[in-house]
Structure 1
Amino acid sequence: MSKSIFITGATAGFGAAMARRFAQDGWSLILSGRRAERLDALAEELSGQTDVTTLVLDVQDRAAVEAAINGLPEKFNKLTALVNNAGLALGTTTAQTSSLDDWETMIDTNVKGVVYCTRLLLPRLIAHGAGAGIVNLGSVAGNWPYQGGNVYGATKAFVKQFSLNLRSDLQGTGVRVTNIEPGMAESEFSVVRFAGDKSKADAVYQGVDPMTPEDIANTIHWVLNQPPHMNINRVELMPVNQAFAGFAIHRKG
């Protein structure tokens, strides 16, 4: 049986790297993202290797997600894998000065988007049975606090717990669930976080030798190609030059 994978946020970074990695093995691709021109370019690039279907979609929009999934071709009634990759961080300010609009956007994308896509695609994954899998893109920010991480870290903590609870609910279906928890990886992530300021984004990675989108794509490829009886519960990964933050102490005076 041919394998198929649904990747959200496929227009750049981790998502595009995953699309290229799974295309190498001939997996059929369902690629969703907000930027039609990038989806078209990626589909044109990969269509010589495998079957590619694209969905111009914002995962924050429940009705649009439902309509897009319900409109998938019949050949995708059985889906091998879902990668909930779409997500973002906005701002690095402390909670008392942060934008509520930014907080709401992160919650709508990182939490609601994951929930919508998962719930609506679960019947297809369950129909596939053994070997099917859900991979959620969490973050070390869901495990370790840092100043300015407030709501972003909280959304990734949700993803971690949602992944664990899915594992409990899906017992007996054959569907596997993994939470991938990357640390510093260079992509458009920081450009978005700093509202398009590329100089600030570049400074984040200066002298660090961060992970790449290809590193994350290769990890997810490994997870989804384990034998059907194995579940990789979670993978936390960082570049060698990054480590756990120390305790913050505020001293009087």
Structure 2
Amino acid sequence: MASASPTFFIFKFIVSNTPCRLCGLVSASCGVRASSHDERLLSRSTPKSNFYKKIGNSFYTLAKIWCYDLHIEENAGKHMKKTAWITGAGSGIGAAMARAFAAAGYRVALTARNTEALETVAASLPAQEDVYIKSGDVTNRTGMADAAQEIAEWGGNLTVLCNNAGLNIPKRTWAELDWASWDQVIDVNVTGALNVIAACLPIMRAQKDGVMIHTSSWAGRFHSATGGVVYGASKHALSDLSLSLNDEEGKNGIRSTALCPAEVATPLLARRPGFDTDTMAAMIQPEDMAKTAVFVAEMQAGVCLPEIVLSPVRT
């Protein structure tokens, strides 16, 4: 075997059927192969084998470059795009965020309880192959943990979380205290938010990269009688959760922002007791919130935006 020609050596180096040893990432799929026989040949120290070794090393380097380029080309569509997971994506702010992130070139994963609503939102997005529907309830802790892993595997990453699911109720004052509905607000707006945050943290820590954008409220920044007692308490809690993430997880490349809008023209707002729907045109629109979220996500990694307060212009 020591007298094998350079042509034979190169041919064996390229097409041998043993597993690739040139790259760890694409060893199962790349076309570059190296046999143990060729490794033994390269290890011999004779003038002829040294000549072959020089040739082999040159082809080894070229093969590594070719193999890496092949990997990048095959996976560019999947791994070069960032993935944004949006909860509460079936309507209002969440649906607008889905459209904005898709338009910005992100792969988007959509979660809400209503699958039909998610399918309607997904159908409105430009690239169907970059949309993933994962129905679920944010109060289901195990379900959210599984969803985050599934989405990260689908997208190749999980870079942005839009922690948007939330609700309010008609009975909002102490005089109307209704434990069943107030508990529901806490379950969704606080516990649900915690579940989604906790689901994303291991993935973002491993990436050393992640942006969490939480839909808080003006009522999470200032007391608001119109928002109601329990809603305001839940949004204050969410804003503080966001601050705690910056305090503890910045070292892991994770940044967190609480969006604190005043009135946003959404179906949720229309449920406010005594609300005049004719005033919605003058309010913050869901698209304004979506543009703000994309702005936060696109901020360079060295900058954190802990809180953004938005309000309509008072005329």
TM range, normalised to the smaller chain? 0.7 to 0.9
Larger Rg: 2
User: 150-159 or 163-172: which moved more?
Assistant: 163-172
Contact 2:265 2:281 in 1 (8 A): no
TM-score between both structures, scaled by the size of structure 1: 0.86
- What do residues 111-151 of structure 1 show as CA deviations (whole Å, max 9, x unaligned)? 01110000011111222324x20011111101222335101
TM-score between both structures, scaled by the size of structure 2: 0.70
Q: Which residues in structure 2 correspond to 1:190-205 (within 5 Å)? A: 190-194=269-273, 200-201=274-275, 203=276
* AA in 2 matched with 1:184: E
2:265 maps to 1:186 = yes
* AA in 2 matched with 1:6: W
- Alpha carbons of structure 1 residues 205 and 64: separation in structure 2 relative to 1, 3 Å: farther
Contact 1:7 1:82 in 2 (8 A): yes
CA distance in 1, matches of 2:300, 2:133: 28
Deviation at 1:68, TM superposition (A): 2.7
Q: How many residues align?
A: 235
Look up the SS of the partner of 1:107 in the other structure: helix
Highest RCO, 1 vs 2 (Cα 8 Å, sep ≥ 6): 1
CA distance in 2, matches of 1:124, 1:207: 38
Contact 2:109 2:131 in 1 (8 A): yes
The percentage of aligned residue pairs carrying the same residue is 31
| Paired position in structure 2 for 1:48 | 127
- What do residues 70-108 of structure 1 show as CA deviations (whole Å, max 9, x unaligned)? 443624452111010000111254213221111111100
CA distance in 1, matches of 2:236, 2:90: 25
* AA in 2 matched with 1:214: E
| Paired position in structure 1 for 2:190 | 111
Which of 217, 236, 252 pairs up with 2:290?
217
User: 88-97 or 42-51: which moved more?
Assistant: 42-51
- Alpha carbons of structure 1 residues 50 and 216: separation in structure 2 relative to 1, 3 Å: farther
Which of 224, 230, 241 pairs up with 1:146?
224
| Paired position in structure 2 for 1:101 | 180
- Alpha carbons of structure 1 residues 36 and 170: separation in structure 2 relative to 1, 3 Å: same
* AA in 1 matched with 2:218: V
2:140 maps to 1:67 = no
- What do residues 145-189 of structure 1 show as CA deviations (whole Å, max 9, x unaligned)? 233510100000001111111111103111111110000111111
2:243 maps to 1:164 = yes
Contact 1:78 1:127 in 2 (8 A): no
CA distance in 2, matches of 1:37, 1:58: 14
Deviation at 1:192, TM superposition (A): 4.1
* AA in 1 matched with 2:266: S
2:108 maps to 1:29 = yes
Contact 2:90 2:112 in 1 (8 A): yes
| Paired position in structure 2 for 1:136 | 214
CA distance in 1, matches of 2:156, 2:192: 21
More helix per residue: 1 or 2? 2
CA distance in 2, matches of 1:65, 1:138: 20
Structure 2: which 5+ runs fail to align?
1-79
Look up the SS of the partner of 1:170 in the other structure: helix
* AA in 2 matched with 1:216: M
Structure 1: which 5+ runs fail to align?
195-199, 243-253
* AA in 2 matched with 1:147: A
| Paired position in structure 1 for 2:309 | 236
